Amino acid sequence: MFTKRTVSTLAALVALGASSSAMAETFSFGEKAQQAKAMVVFQAGEQASADLSRLDKLSNNQISNALNAAKFEGKSKQVVEIFAPAGINTQRLLVVGLGDASTLDAGQVNHVGASINAKLAKAEAANVQIFTQGISDNTSNANFAAELAHGINLRAYKFDKYLSKKKPSEKNYNFSVAKPELATAAYEQLEAIESGVFLARDLTSEVPTEMNPAHFAAAAKELKDLGVKIKILKPKQIKKLGMGALHAVGRGSSEGSRLIVAHWKGSDDAPIALVGKGITFDSGGYNVKTGSSIANMKSDMAGAAAVLGTVKAMALQKAPVNVVAVMGMAANMVSESSYAPGDVLMTAEGKSVEILNTDAEGRLVLADSLWYARKHYSPKVMVDVATLTGSKIRAIGNRYTAVFSEDDELVSQLTNSGKIVDEKLWRLPLAYGDLLKSPIADLKNAGYGGPGATTAAMFLKEFTGDTKWAHLDIAGNALIKTDKGLTQSGGTGHGVRLLSHWILNTQVK
Ligand code: BES
Ligand code: MN
Ligand code: ZN
């Protein structure tokens, strides 16, 4: 039997002064089933699996009778829970429908795992037996089991630092699989990605007073132990390098801005640059946010969290890839020293920007961060991730991420990865650049009305030179209010799985 304990993000959390919220379930993969107080068995379509038939026999057909009564047909998302079935020493048995399993991709299997975890959340059983012998997704039995474990753990995570009542105790899941070593190896890679997701969630869920640019920098430094090179520029250096836009956005808060670089150099290829928007709180500045959405603005650093989490995922699995994350960090606050509407800022790129709206701050920190990534790392491709616009949410909602790029191949690679891990992308146009003309500066930071997600993307494009680039607007994807799918309420870590999949599948030969 192969046992694997999940990597906890405890080290990072110590730096934040937090207790671990990344709860680790334990997983083991073996050839045989084990005795357990909760059991899970699958049916892909109408044909019962061998394990299900065997259990049914033991129960003297009680299981099939229950399934018939529930009109269970093995369809995807059908679940029947049977308590204390006769002849089987278990308190509950979940029979889970998969539909046509051979068409399931990783993200769909993760969702099956998540729903199992959600169903069993209140069950007292410490040990859970999952019968996966003979079941394969569109790749293999080993991957099916590993992706199930991944989905279970993603859903099990809860940011419970501020709750006096913590989540119920951890569970041990045992999977019966044909080839335990293969399942264990497959899960190891997913476990690294999980750990990156958990870091991103921790950072996103943390409250704004405890997660300013300096706190975020401290969390980034924790990755040094994994062999990640960390560089942190403070306001003075930011100003000295001419990054006047990044500098200005942080001026209204006492910590000021930071530019953080986290570099995992696992190969000698030209690097992939991931650039993240890191607004640790977005009050809107003098264009102060008046609606209730201001309460979600602790999550305005989710782009930075996603790119840092991705670097962690690569470092933990020692991936043979060269990835550098550049994060533009600031708290967009109101004070006497804040930047003001009407200001003209100078970016490091040499383009001046008239400020029409201090709430369009993300593009300002990204402008200088994109410049820095290009200038200092000559990346072969750049992808930025940002909770950039409310306009994106109005256009396509929170079940899709908007992707902007002129490179069709890059869009199709990212879209494909998004489909597989179920972080879906939808392409929006790069156009309407004329709306950013200013009479007093080279650009203005906001158009009047119009297609806001697109004009924001056009603004960013001004700072990408001739580097291949895509922009992901994850507004609405970063924080959820109620438990759903792979995530309990709180930060989602959105982007880590997408970027990890994209990097590992396009860069590793
Ligand atoms: N951080 C917000 C965008 C946002 C809104 C993210 C809601 C997640 C949920 C961004 O800084 C912002 O305020 N954008 C403005 C830009 C406008 C002033 C041009 C927007 O989209 O309204
Ligand atoms: Mn804003
Ligand atoms: Zn913002």
The DSSP element (H or E) to which 234 belongs, if any, is none
Ligand 1, residue 478: give the atom nearest the CA.
8
- Model pLDDT, residue 448: 75
Phi, psi of 29 (to 5 degrees): -120, 120
**First and final CA of the chain: distance in angstroms?**
31
Q: Which ligand is nearest to the CA of 387?
A: 1
Q: Is 389 in the pocket of ligand 1 (CB under 6 A)?
A: yes
- Model pLDDT, residue 11: 32
How large is the C-alpha radius of gyration of the chain?
Answer: 24
- Size of the chain, expressed as the number of residues it contains: 509
398 neighbors 481 (Cβ within 8 angstroms): no
Ligand 1, residue 446: give the atom nearest the CA.
19
Q: Is 204 in the pocket of ligand 1 (CB under 6 A)?
A: no
For the record, the structure tokens of 477 come out as 């994807």
**Residues contacting 71, CB < 8 A, separation 6+:** none
CA-closest candidate to residue 115, choices 131, 134, 96 = 96
DSSP state of 168: P
The SS3 of residue 220 is: helix
143 neighbors 56 (Cβ within 8 angstroms): no
Report CA(133)–ligand 3 centroid distance (Å).
48
CA atoms within 13 A on the CB side of 438: 20
CA atoms within 13 A on the CB side of 81: 10
Find the catalytic residue in 54, 265, 289, 424: 289
Number of Cβ within a 10 Å radius of residue 122: 7
Q: Which ligand is nearest to the CA of 446?
A: 1
In the residue annotation, 289 being an active-site residue is answered as: yes
Phi-psi region for residue 493, left (φ > 0), alpha (ψ -120 to 50) or beta? left
Number of Cβ within a 10 Å radius of residue 446: 23
Compute the distance between CA of residue 482 and CA of residue 488 in angstroms, rounded to an integer.
7
For the record, the structure tokens of 273 come out as 């640059």
Tell me which residues have their CB within 5 A of the ion that is ligand 2: 282, 359
Tens of pLDDT along the chain (509 residues)? 444 434 333 333 333 333 345 557 999 999 988 889 999 999 999 989 999 999 999 999 999 999 999 999 999 999 999 999 999 999 999 999 999 999 999 999 999 999 999 999 988 888 999 999 999 999 999 999 999 999 999 999 999 999 998 777 789 999 999 999 999 999 999 999 999 999 999 999 999 999 999 999 999 999 999 999 999 999 999 999 999 999 999 999 999 999 999 999 999 999 999 999 999 999 999 999 999 889 999 999 999 999 999 999 999 999 999 999 999 999 999 999 999 999 999 999 999 999 999 999 999 999 999 999 999 999 999 999 999 999 999 999 999 999 999 999 999 999 999 999 999 999 999 999 999 999 999 999 997 778 999 999 999 999 999 999 999 999 999 999 999 999 999 999 999 999 999 999 998 76
CATH number of 10-186: 3.40.220.10
Report CA(240)–ligand 3 centroid distance (Å).
25
Report CA(400)–ligand 1 centroid distance (Å).
17
Report CA(390)–ligand 1 centroid distance (Å).
5
Q: Which ligand is nearest to the CA of 328?
A: 3
**Residues contacting 53, CB < 8 A, separation 6+:** none
Report CA(70)–ligand 3 centroid distance (Å).
48
Compute the distance between CA of residue 209 and CA of residue 213 in angstroms, rounded to an integer.
10
Measured by CA distance, the residue closest to atom 7 of ligand 1 is 390
Q: Is 446 in the pocket of ligand 1 (CB under 6 A)?
A: yes
Largest distance between two CA atoms of the chain: 83
> Rounded to 5 degrees, what angle do the CA atoms 74, 417, 223 make?
115
Q: Which ligand is nearest to the CA of 392?
A: 1
- Model pLDDT, residue 23: 59
Ligand 1, residue 289: give the atom nearest the CA.
13
The SS3 of residue 222 is: helix
With the C-alpha atoms ordered 179, 183, 184, 189, is the resulting torsion angle positive or negative? positive
Mutate which of 356, 366, 389 for ligand 1? The one with the most ligand atoms within 8 Å of its CB, which is 389
370 neighbors 348 (Cβ within 8 angstroms): no
The SS3 of residue 403 is: strand
272 neighbors 264 (Cβ within 8 angstroms): no
Ligand 1, residue 296: give the atom nearest the CA.
9
Delimit the domains of the chain by residue range.
Answer: 10-186, 206-477
Report CA(68)–ligand 3 centroid distance (Å).
52
Measured by CA distance, the residue closest to atom 8 of ligand 1 is 475
Q: Is 454 in the pocket of ligand 1 (CB under 6 A)?
A: no
The SS3 of residue 275 is: strand
For the record, the structure tokens of 428 come out as 């929006």
Ordered DSSP codes for 240-271: HTT-HHHHHHTTTSTT--EEEEEEEE-SSSPP
Q: Which CATH number fits domain 206-477: 1.20.1050.10, 3.40.50.740, 3.40.630.10, 3.40.50.720?
A: 3.40.630.10
Q: Is 391 in the pocket of ligand 1 (CB under 6 A)?
A: yes
Q: Is 293 in the pocket of ligand 1 (CB under 6 A)?
A: yes
Find the catalytic residue in 201, 251, 363, 444: 363
Compute the distance between CA of residue 469 and CA of residue 362 in angstroms, rounded to an integer.
17
